[in-house]
Every structure is written in C-alpha cells, then in structure tokens.
Amino acid sequence: MNPLLPSNDRFEGFETNSSVNLTTSPFTTTPSVAITVSPINVSESGNVNLVYNITRTGDTTSSLNVRFTVRGTARFNQDYTQTGANFFSSLQGSLNLASGVTSATIILDPIADNQVEFDETAILTLINGTGYTVGNPSSATGTILNDTVAPSISVVVSPGSVQENGAPNLVYTFSRTGNNTNGLSGVLFSVSGDAGFNQDYTVSGANQFSNTSGSVNFAPNSSTATVTINPTADNQVEFDETAILTLTNGTGYTVGNPNSATGTILNDDVVVVPSISVAVSPSSV
C-alpha cells in the first residue's frame, strides 16, 4: 500500500468534471451546440431567406446528429420550405455535423402566397441528443414578414334612383383596388334607409343580407362584385324610400372611398282624387 494514498485508494477532494471523457487519450470534452438565425426577419416574397446556424464548441473529432424542435406560427411546406437539415417536419428535425465540422446551416425559404395575413414565426429549439450538450443560445426565432397589401374596397350605386314599378333595379357595385389574384370573402357592409328589406325590395348577389347588415364576396381575379336591389311594387301611395349600403371594417381589406352608396326607390302610385260637381235644376223658379 502506498503510504501517500488514503486507505480507500481515492484522492479525497478530487473534483471530477462530467464533461470530460476519460475513455480517450488525451481527455476530450463533450461538445456544446448552439443555434442562431440571421437575418431575424425576411419578407415573404423577397430573395433573402432565414439562415439558422448550428455551431459546436469542443471536440470535433466525431460526427454529431443534432436534434431540434420546430415551432412558431409559420407552417412547414405552406409558409416556407427548408434545405440543409438531415430531417425536417412540422414538429421536429435534425442536422448532421460531420467529423471536423464546427457548424452547419438550415435555410428556410418563405413561400409567397399573395394573402393578407399576420407576420409569422419559425422557431428552432435545440434538444438533448447523443454526444453533445445544449449550449446558449438554445433557440432561434425567425420572422416571415407579410408584404401583401390589403386591397381597398369602395361602393357606388347606379342608377341613383328607380321607379317602384320600373324595370331598372338599383345596382350597387363594390370595387377592390390592389391585388385581386385570390378570392376575398366576407366584405362587410351595414344596411340602412327607410326602405324595408323583403317589404319594399328584394336582393340578389349578396353573400348575406338582412335589414341591418350584409356581406359580399369577390371571386379570384375579379375586381368587382355587385348587389342588386329590386323594388317591390305595392300600389300604395307613400314617400320615396332609400336603401343605403355602407362598408364596414373586416378581414383582408381596407375601406376606401366612397364607402357608402344611397339608392332611392321612387313612389309611382298616384292618389286618385274624386271629382265632385253640383248642379241645380231648375235654375229658377
């Protein structure tokens, strides 16, 4: 027994390091991996992509399969495609660092969709795996900026007035300026005026219509949509009546100018006043 060693053959107070690999010579440390993204945001239809860089510090003698989760509001294969990863899905992925390599990249390429939407994020977060520890930063968030401008909607009516019993109808034309590649559903408007729906007129062309509100849809590649008001003849003597459609705020568009259109239904019923006459006979007596 060596008198210089404790009886239990251990160095008392010797502090070990779990990251030191005692099976190799010379001793090596378990590599640490981190992730960053640059730039941190890109335009949806631009030529610049989100580049996620995964780096390792420490031993590079062995290859590593680095694992990560995929999160954020951007959707894989709908809002972006990827290159560089060994495996990639909507929930997780992995990247191989070859022997001797200290870093590798994953590139997310946004998909332009011509839809007005919120900015969307793609978040890659490193998770534990074999042969490495997760360093700092462990997560990187890239943002895809919406660059599709919302179309502006306006409304006019022609003709401005029609006879109650006449052939022409009130035609309200909704127009959108800007991108019209995609369809636009649910353009909202309020309904007012002293003409009553289903009493003084019927409606065609609207997606939804009531006494107080309505909506209209735009077909793909169409810049206009129409709502037609057809007066109902009632043979009643009454005042001229109005039907007012006014655009209101909604999703996927802005309200332009003019934002309101007033059509008038002209009363064409006449009051028949009886003619009364008086005569005396004989004229004298």
Q: Which two tokens stand for residue 193?
A: 């005026």
Task: Count other Cβ atoms within 10 Å, centred on residue 18.
Answer: 8
C-alpha to C-alpha distance for 62 and 100, rounded to whole angstroms: 7
For residue 271, what pLDDT is reported?
A: 52
pLDDT tens digits, one per residue of 45-99: 889 999 999 999 999 999 999 999 999 999 999 999 999 999 999 999 999 999 9
| Residues 38-76 as b or e (16 or more Cβ within 10 Å = b) | eeeebebeeeebbbbebbbebbbeeebebbbebbbebeb
Whether the domain at 20-145 and the domain at 152-266 fall into the same CATH topology: yes
For residue 171, what pLDDT is reported?
A: 98
**First-residue to last-residue Cα distance in the chain:** 170
| C-beta separation of 42 from 107 below 8 A | no
For residue 48, what pLDDT is reported?
A: 96
For residue 7, what pLDDT is reported?
A: 47
pTM assigned to the model: 0.64
| Residue 205 φ/ψ region, left for φ over 0, alpha for ψ in the -120 to 50 degree band, beta for the rest | left
pLDDT tens digits, one per residue of 4-59: 444 444 434 444 454 555 454 455 689 999 999 999 999 998 899 999 999 999 99
Instruction: Specify whether domain 152-266 bears CATH 2.60.40.2030.
Output: yes
| C-beta separation of 183 from 114 below 8 A | no
Return the minimum-mean-pLDDT range out of 57-71, 176-190, 216-230, 265-279.
265-279
Q: Which two tokens stand for residue 155?
A: 């409304």
For residue 12, what pLDDT is reported?
A: 46
pLDDT tens digits, one per residue of 101-127: 999 999 999 999 878 889 999 999 999
CA-nearest of 186, 191, 181 to 217 is 186
Confidence of residue 279 (pLDDT cuts 50, 70, 90): confident
For residue 250, what pLDDT is reported?
A: 94
The CA-CA-CA angle for residues 154, 157, 159, to 5°, reads: 155
For residue 239, what pLDDT is reported?
A: 86
For residue 25, what pLDDT is reported?
A: 44
For residue 11, what pLDDT is reported?
A: 38
Superfamily assignment of 20-145 in CATH?
CalX-beta domain (2.60.40.2030)
pLDDT tens digits, one per residue of 196-226: 999 999 999 999 999 999 999 999 999 999 9
| Residue 45 φ/ψ region, left for φ over 0, alpha for ψ in the -120 to 50 degree band, beta for the rest | alpha
For residue 217, what pLDDT is reported?
A: 98
User: How many whole angstroms from its chain centre is CA 65?
Assistant: 35
For residue 253, what pLDDT is reported?
A: 93
Confidence of residue 267 (pLDDT cuts 50, 70, 90): confident
| Residues 173-209 as b or e (16 or more Cβ within 10 Å = b) | bbbbeeebebebeebbbebbbebebeebbebebbeeb
Place of tokens 């008086």: 278
CA-nearest of 216, 40, 242 to 137 is 40
Q: Provide the residue ranges of all domains of the chain, joining segments of one domain with +.
A: 20-145, 152-266
Confidence of residue 177 (pLDDT cuts 50, 70, 90): very high
Q: Is residue 136 predicted with pLDDT exceeding 80?
A: yes
